[in-house]
Amino acid sequence: MMSKNNSSRGIKHHVRTAIAKTGVMRLAVHAAPASIAILRYHSVQEDRARFGNSIGEAIIHSLATFRQQMETVAVQFDPMSMDDALLFLRGERSLPRRPVVVTFDDGFADNAELAAPVLDRLGIPATFYVTVNPVDSSQPPWFCRLRHAFATTQKKTWFDSIEDSTRNLEKAPERKAAFLVASERCAQKTAAAQNGALQLIEHELEVEPFAPGERFMMSWEQVRSLRKAGHIVGSHTLSHPNLAHIT
């Protein structure tokens, strides 16, 4: 069975029955309440602690846990593609008995190297939402660099020059609060402005930019291989901003 904690983190949301004014036949098809469980993943690693200071352990699944979850999905549920889920929402198809859609966000290299072989072996289609700029540049996304900066800085305080204030970093809750402030700031920017804000914070924390020393994001060749294997690839924006703040 799936781990309760991991499965709850993985469930993005439930798509409820959408019965629009589409005619009597479609109404009959969707007469019984139905929903689709969407399992959202980010990273799969042999060891969850490996990139805990950059990706963050909260969104990393161990390979063993991911394999167990997908085996459960394959045997006890009915995996379907995101395209088929959208057809259901449009009233153009019915649902299997226990539908599940699997998605991945961000475009980390482990998606292709570790997760995809498990999915392919079990015949589970998935949708991979790729953050374009980090994949194109082969560089870690801003939020991984930022998390790494706050996790590894030796400074006891952070002088935030933008707000002209000093934030304590000695205790874990204080460090987390400071990280969230910085994260919100960077998330409200795009491209060059986002990178400029990130570089300033790294300078103030006296840390070098996170450099994993190996491929951290998927290559375009790996992205194409996912499509060739029958998976769906979509955009997760260019630079992963918070779209609620982008005009």
pLDDT in tens, the chain (247 residues): 344 344 333 433 333 332 232 232 333 334 345 799 999 999 999 999 999 999 999 999 999 999 999 999 999 999 999 999 999 999 999 999 999 999 999 999 999 999 999 999 999 999 999 999 999 999 999 999 999 999 999 999 999 999 999 999 999 999 999 999 999 999 999 989 999 999 999 999 999 999 998 899 999 999 999 999 999 999 999 999 999 988 7
The pLDDT of residue 15 is 32
Render the burial of 185-211: b for 16+ CB within 10 Å, e for the rest: bbbebbeeebbebbebbbebbebeebe
On the 0-12 / 13-18 / 19+ scale of CB atoms within 10 A, 59 is middle
Query: How does pLDDT run across 148-194, given as a tens digit for each residue?
Result: 999 999 999 999 999 999 999 999 999 999 999 999 999 999 989 99
Instruction: Give yes or no: residues 109 and 124 share one domain.
Output: yes
Same domain, residue pair 127 and 145: no
CA–CA gap between residue 8 and residue 105 (Å, rounded): 16
Q: How many domains would you assign to the chain?
A: 2
Is the separation of the CB atoms in 234 and 128 below 8 Å?
yes
90 and 107 part of one domain: yes
Task: Provide the CA 102 distance to its chain's centre, in angstroms.
Answer: 11
Asked if residue 152 and residue 104 are part of one domain, the reply reads no
Q: Are residues 101 and 162 in the same domain?
A: no
Q: Are residues 11 and 115 in the same domain?
A: yes
> Is there a single domain that holds both residue 105 and residue 166?
no
CATH number for the domain including 96? 3.20.20.370
Whole-prediction pTM value? 0.83
121 and 234, same domain (yes or no): yes
Distance CA 10, CA 60 (A): 10
Q: Is 134 helix (H, G, I), strand (E, B) or coil?
A: helix
| 97 and 12 part of one domain | yes
Query: For residue 72, what are its two tokens?
Result: 């459960």
Smallest CA-to-CA distance from 126 within 236, 219, 41 is with 41
Same domain, 172 and 228: no
Q: How far are the Cα atoms of 58, 85, 129, 185 from residue 119, in angstroms, in the given order?
A: 21, 18, 16, 36
Instruction: Please check whether residues 172 and 78 belong to one and the same domain.
Output: no
Q: Which two tokens stand for residue 242?
A: 């918070």
Question: Is 39:56 a contact under the CB 8 Å cutoff?
Answer: no
- 156 & 115 share domain: no
Q: Which of 91, 97, 47 is nearest to 77 (CA)?
A: 97
Range of the domain at 132: 4-136+213-245
